[in-house]
Amino acid sequence: MPATLVFATHNQHKLQEVAAKTGNQLNLQSLTDIDCHDDIEENGITFRANASIKSHYIFNKYNLNCFGDDSGLEIEALNGEPGVYSARYAGEHGNHEANIAKVLEKLQGISNRKANFRTVISLIWNGQEHFFEGVIQGSIRHEKAGAKGFGYDPIFEPDGYNITFAEMSMEEKNSISHRAIAMEKLIAFLNQQV
């Protein structure tokens, strides 16, 4: 029987994305699958800390192999902001329109638009913690373009492309994104273990 691995998320799309890459080697489960509806407070000041908080919470409570992730946008001219506060940059958690408006306002008149998206994954496997990171470089557009994706996708244009994440198909974005890069590293590690 394949080993069980819990992804500390309720997002079924994220879960399917990982399951498609691991095949039948693992019994991949979400927080919903293990009936965990606790509010895991992400109060770390780095992506690494928040990812680790999620994985440790699940491991300590359920004693299951698990992983958690944290991601965000880092803008060079804003000293790495919004960074770990990406989801609540404008105050309210998950208000994408307000977050985008705040970024565009802060960058008014600034020519340096360099930015990157970063994902950090914390995996606890057989009691040991391992970290995997993915970064994609790009720049911030002066205005929104595209209706797909979520968060800052309408203003982030990855290097080598002339469209934003929000103008890409889900498959195209998922093949190059920061999360995809980190997931590939995680999956390569897991493939050596199982």
What does the pLDDT read at residue 14? 76
Task: Please report, for the chain, the start and end positions of each structural domain, with discontinuous segments joined by +.
Answer: 3-193
> Average pLDDT for residues 26-54, to the nearest whole number?
93
Q: Is 83 exposed, middle or buried (0-12, 13-18, 19+ CB in 10 A)?
A: middle
- 128-140 sheet: strands from edge to edge: 26-30, 3-7, 66-75, 114-125, 128-140, 156-158
Q: What CATH number belongs to 3-193?
A: 3.90.950.10
Q: Which of residues 42 and 47 earns the better pLDDT score? A: 47
Instruction: Name the residues annotated as catalytic.
Output: 70
pTM: 0.91
Q: How confident is the model at residue 15 (pLDDT cuts 50, 70, 90)?
A: confident
> Average pLDDT for residues 164-175, to the nearest whole number?
90
Tokens of 118: 């970063």
Segments of 10-154 assigned E as strands: 26-30, 66-75, 114-125, 128-140
Place of tokens 């913690």: 129
**pLDDT, tens only, 120-139:** 999 999 999 999 999 999 99
What does the pLDDT read at residue 194? 67
Q: How confident is the model at residue 3 (pLDDT cuts 50, 70, 90)?
A: confident
